Amino acid sequence: MLYKSLNLQSPDVHFKKALTDGLASDKGLYFPKNIERLPTSFFEQIEDLDDDYICFKAIEQFIGDEIPEEILKQIVKETINFEFPIIPISSSIYSLELFHGPTLAFKDVGARFMSRCLAYFNREQPSQKNTILVATSGDTGGAVANGFLGVSGVNVVILYPQNKVSDIQERQLTTLGQNIKAVEVIGTFDDCQAMVKKAFLDEELQNLNLTSANSINVARWLPQMFYYFLTYKKLKKENKPLIFSVPSGNFGNSCAGIVAKKLGLPIRHIIAATNSNDTIPNYLEKGNFDVKPTIPTLSNAMDVSNPSNFVRIKALYNDDLQHLKAEFSSCSYNDEETVKGMKELFEQFKYVSEPHGAIGYLGLKNYLSNDSTSIGVFLATAHPVKFLDTVEKNLNIELEIPSSIQSILTLKKEKYTVKTYEELKKFLNS
């Protein structure tokens, strides 16, 4: 499979280079040159196929022959080796829980797939070392750190803003050791991101082979389509058109759902539900792409005002906005509405959610009020315990701490603190 840059100013590359570059040299996002539909028979028989095989078939064409079939099958198997339960909420609404992986967030799926692919490529060239450099406002760091823990030839450096991630999130970054280094930045998430961008352009850091690990990276973005396939397999017997509602920030997850649809997966409609950072809902309604300053919200993993993956969504529809709007929509909910959604799920359906999942629920409920023939699934993207204070306070309950979190609560946080880019550079070179 070849990938082109969506800025069209740099050469086409294979999967391995798209993975190790992250972003093309012209700063464009990599995008598959062509996507081939899977045969109809695959979807007809899907209930009889096993999960590993289904996901392997979904991703196979995007890797091409760069990873041998048996190894790719093993990578897929390890990527999805935890549960993806589908919880019925009402007669037409389900919650797809994506938070049963090691760091309790859906980003585990992409991070596990990417780390294993990179480990395979490094095995070919043992002298090659890579440094994964990421900025995190919360969930990305933990998932990436966990996914890459112990992968030989790869160092991971995670930048996070001091005092701006939750205690649990900080522990997930700072207690792993081995090849994972946590760097606390005296500043904001934007400062962290600015340092990462600067490092990628810094000639003096070329020897580190810096690689990104956010959803801009094709190896983190594409495996996110797996759970759309697995959900269809489980709900096919309902024999009704299927809607997905995806709590969205950078729009990588919803974009992966559209790729699944391109592959032939019968999805009637995808909703990208956002918090108050409503650039895309506004754009689809009014036609102007107006990026406002990012607003901090309760669903902080979605505090993104210029979603990087939206260009990929447009590309999947060949920039045909009418076609796009027939199959994809976006809506926005503020914090007050989010809390109301959480309370409604709890009081009416005895279901404990956190702010991100609740926004997915609200988007779905709104859509289904005009469509009584479909069933819908909202993606529960994080475990409620990751947003402990918000959940306990608003639902007036006490959450049980899962054992995976309990075990890190007593470990010592190991971190390096920097204030300036020069300090970061000194650390990276040490």
Binding site for ligand PLP (CB under 6 A): 105, 107, 139, 215, 247-253, 301-302, 356, 381-382
Nearest distance, CB of residue 425 and ligand PLP, angstroms: 28
Cα of 176 vs its chain's centroid, Å? 21
3-state helix, strand, coil in the chain (%, to 5): 50, 15, 35
Between 80 and 382, name the residue whose CB sits nearer to ligand PLP: 382
Closest CB 68 distance from ligand PLP, rounded Å: 29
Smallest distance, Å, CB 63 to ligand PLP? 21
The nearest distance, CB 103 to ligand PLP, in angstroms, is: 10
Min dist. Cβ of residue 354 to ligand PLP (A): 8
Our CA angle for 329, 106, 27, nearest 5°, is 70
Q: Which is nearer to ligand PLP, 108 or 424 (CB)?
A: 108
Minimum distance, C-beta of residue 379 to ligand PLP, in the bound complex (Å): 8
* Torsion of Cα atoms, 220 then 223 then 228 then 231, to 10°: -120
Residue 352 CA to residue 319 CA, distance in Å, equals: 39
Which of residues 20 and 253 has its CB atom nearest to ligand PLP in the complex? 253
140 vs 211 by CB, closer to ligand PLP: 140
CB 280 to ligand PLP: min, Å: 10
- Which residue lies nearer to ligand PLP by CB, 92 or 250? 250
Count Cβ atoms within 10 A of the Cβ of residue 50 and give its class: 0-12 exposed, 13-18 middle, 19 or more buried: exposed
**Cβ closest to ligand PLP, residue 157 vs residue 246:** 246
Shortest spacing between CB 67 and ligand PLP, in angstroms? 24
Q: Report d(CA 96, CA 108) in Å as an integer.
A: 15
235 secondary structure, DSSP code: H
Using CA atoms, how far residue 334 sits from 252, 274, 302, in Å, is 21, 9, 12
- Residue type, position 95, single letter: S
Amino acid occupying residue 364 = L
Residue 217 or 250 with smaller CB distance to ligand PLP: 250
What 8-state DSSP symbol labels residue 96? E
**For residues 252, 233, 245 and 190, what is the CA-based torsion angle, rounded to 10 degrees?**
-20
Residue 337 CB, shortest distance to ligand PLP, in Å, is 16
- DSSP assignment letter at 295: P
CB of residue 258 to ligand PLP, shortest distance in Å? 12
Taking the least distance from each CB to ligand PLP, the nearer of 15 and 99 is: 99
In the bound state with ligand PLP, the residue whose beta carbon lies nearer, of 43 and 252, is 252
Distance CA 343, CA 35 (A): 41
Return the structure tokens found at 231. 């959900």
Q: How far is the CB of 232 from ligand PLP (least distance, A)?
A: 19
Distance separating the N- and C-terminal Cα atoms of the chain: 37
Pick between residue 130 and residue 308 the one whose CB is nearest to ligand PLP.
Answer: 308
Calculate the alpha carbon distances from 129 to 25, 86, 295, 311 in Å.
Answer: 20, 40, 38, 31
Four-CA torsion 319, 309, 364, 76, nearest 10 degrees: 120
Of the two residues 29 and 418, which places its CB atom closer to ligand PLP in the complex? 29
Q: With contact defined as beta carbons under 8 Å apart, do 144 and 168 qualify?
A: no
- Estimate to the nearest angstrom the gap between the alpha carbon of 332 and the chain centroid: 19
Alpha helices in 125-208 (DSSP H): 139-148, 167-174, 189-201
